[in-house]
Amino acid sequence: MKSYEKDYPLFKTKVDGVTQKFNLSDPQERKEYFEQKAGPEIKKIKEYLKDKTFIAYFLGKKNSGKGTYSKLMKEVFGEEKIGHVSIGDLVRDVHASLEDPVKKQELMVYLQKNYRGYISIEDAIDALLGRSTKTLLPTEFILALVKMEIAKLPKKTLFIDGFPRELDQFSYSLYFRDLINFREDPDIFVAISIPESVIDERMKFRVICPKCHTPRNLKLFATKKVGYDKEKKEFYLVCDDPACGESQMVVKEGDNLGIETIRERLELDDKLIEKAFSLHGIPKILLRNSVPIDKAKDRVDDYELTPEYHYEMQPDGSVKTLERPWTIKDDDGVESYSLLAAPVALALIKQLAAIL
């Protein structure tokens, strides 16, 4: 465990005397869960959001769940109040839009009015398209794209995922609210602590639907229907979307290699989070994805733990899905449980209410 991670609190989500269990994969039960465990805090934040907004920057290692937590915030507080901007998704969308002459022209017109930087727009686009290996995509160009994306939204609270992405971008993030004309908004860093073993398993067992591209995980996030490939002698997930016609979900190329394929990125993410801890004058929210097994009973409910799925063939040829709590070792080698997204989001809500 890195030195800065010692500061992450072991958050208690268990409410003494309450024995009700919730299915956290069900949206309605998830709503009831949040109301029961954080009702007063949710009420306070909703009151704040009636006429105010804030900006939160998610800082966490790749695959730490930043997009998932943003979706849960939308679910709790409403799509009309919460906006999520993923820098990675934004760059990919802009990259794809350049193939459309109309969209490319619209982008060029916007950049000519809003981009200021040390390299030309044309060189920046070459860097974006990968045509130039010598030119790095400048931060000023990224900021122009983010400003363009936010301009499409009504004024909302923003959860920014993927910025700052480099160490030299921290100075920009300190004044980001000014740069995008959210001048009165409070800004907050949200740092996520997640063991590398969790990221590794999430990658190795991740599958996607080849039609709708929905991601799932053979070990950690099963679909309702599971099949068995007799030739390969392995189980597979079947996409839940009826429109996909029971499509067999497949492994994304390279994911089976696990965490080592993104080692350089993880090391940079560590440096970014450590840098955030050294900053003064900006509130910080600290989220833990795991809880030591010897402390779990007093702090969390069993249904808040990430289940590990395994499968058994039945005599009639069907597949039975079984589950058990998923045990992992944190980065210090401590036997731990991984938490589902909802209890981590609960900790986010409680800390947000205290800051706002």
Q: How many domains does the chain have?
A: 1
User: The domain that contains 210 carries what CATH number?
Assistant: 3.40.50
From residue 193, alpha-carbon distances to 8, 50, 66, 229, 263 in Å are 7, 31, 11, 37, 16
- The pLDDT value recorded for residue 272 is 82
pLDDT-derived band at 73, boundaries 50, 70, 90: very high
Give tens-digit pLDDT for 257-271: 888 888 888 888 888
- pLDDT band for 136, please (50, 70, 90 cuts): low
The reply to whether 129 falls in a domain is: no
- Please tell me which of 49-63, 121-135, 199-213, 287-301 the model is most confident about, judged by mean pLDDT: 287-301
Radius of gyration of the chain (CA): 22
Whether the CA torsion 190, 191, 195, 198 is positive or negative: it is positive
The span from the first CA to the last CA of the chain, in angstroms, equals: 30
* pLDDT above 90: residue 218: yes
Q: Is residue 348 in a domain?
A: yes
pLDDT value at residue 45: 97
Establish if 89 belongs to a structural domain.
no
How far is the C-alpha of 48 from the C-alpha of 110, rounded, in Å? 33
Which of residues 300 and 132 earns the better pLDDT score? 300
DSSP string over 78-125: -TTTEEEEEHHHHHHHHHHHTTSHHHHHHHHHHHHHH---SS-HHHHH
Which two structure tokens, joined as six digits, stand for 274?
């450590």
d(CA 34, CA 46): 13
Residue 48 has pLDDT above 90, yes or no: yes
The range of the structural domain enclosing residue 11 comes to: 3-81+156-355
Each residue's pLDDT tens digit, 169-214: 767 666 666 666 665 788 898 999 999 999 999 889 989 999 888 8
The pLDDT of residue 133 is: 47
Asked if residue 99 is part of any domain, the answer here is no
Q: Is the pLDDT of residue 165 over 90?
A: no
Q: Which two tokens stand for residue 30?
A: 């998830």
Tell whether 107 is covered by a domain.
no
Residue 134 lies in a domain: no
Q: Tell me if 337 is assigned to some domain.
A: yes
Q: How far apart are CA 218 and CA 227, in angstroms?
A: 11
